[in-house]
Every structure is written in C-alpha cells, then in structure tokens.
Amino acid sequence: MLRGIPKCLNPDLIKVIWEMGHGDKLVLADAYYPSASTAKRNGSILVRCDGVRNTEVLDAILQFMPLDTSVEKPALIMDLQDCDRGKVETPVWEEYKKIVCKYDPRGLDCIGMIERFAFYEAAKDAYAVVATGETSLYGCMILQKGTE
C-alpha cells in the first residue's frame, strides 16, 4: 500500500504517466469513446479505469502531471457537433475547467475546445488512451504533458 496516491490511479496509469515525455498526449475517454479500437489502431497504450469518472481521474493526474507550457491549449475538451448544439447538455465541462484551473496557473487560457472528429484526429498520436466510466456526453479530453 502506498500513501497519498489517489485510488483511481491504478498501477498501469501511474506507469504510463511516468513514461510519458514532454509533449506526449493522454486521452481521457468517456464510456462512449472507442478507446480500445483507437488505441489498437494508433499503437497507443490502453489503460482501463472502468467505473471511475473522468473528473476523478483528471484531478488525480493533474496532481502529478504538469500541462505543457510550450503550447497554447494543452487541455482540449471534445466539443459538440453542430447537430447536437442546443440539444445536448455538457455540465461536465465546467467540472473539467475547475479542475484544470486548480492545477495550472494559466487557468481557462490553457483549455481549448475541439470538435468531435478533429478530436479523433488529434487522438491518433496520443501516447495512451484512458478508458473511464464517464457517462457524460462529450466527456472526452486530451492532455499534453509538460515539464514542470
């Protein structure tokens, strides 16, 4: 047993975060995202965190992993498709923003929105995909690791 490590950070996820280098990307995938096929197709590592919300995983990761300061938006949230605007509520986005602001001094300035299919494209070069139990629609994020 180790102390001070959030329980949602399983050994596989800790290993992945440790291995990642500056600029590497980590996808935090909701329960609807094609995590396994994305990781397999792109040669990324798949880490399972079933039954855990992305908010919990995000908060735990950012306690240990800095966001990249050499890019403008190292935290990207999957944005709505035009067909879902005005139809789908996304309260989880506010939770994500609060968590990122807690750990990164740039606050909201380091958070960007990325359309669903552009998100899939950006995820192609992710180091790892974390499959969670997040059930919020459009509940996916990409984090880019920094150095400090």
Strands of the 45-49 sheet, one edge to the other? 45-49, 128-132, 25-29, 141-144, 75-79, 111-115
Q: What is the pTM of this model?
A: 0.95
Task: Judge whether residue 2 has pLDDT over 90.
Answer: no
Over residues 7-54, the pLDDT tens digits come to 999 999 999 999 999 999 999 999 999 999 999 999 999 999 999 999
Tokens of 88: 């789908």
Q: Are 65 and 127 in contact (CB under 8 A)?
A: no
Does the domain formed by 45-144 have CATH 3.50.7.10? no
Catalytic residues: 22, 68, 120
C-alpha 111/C-alpha 96 separation (Å) is 9
Cα of first residue to Cα of last residue in the chain, in angstroms, is 27
Confidence of residue 3 (pLDDT cuts 50, 70, 90): confident
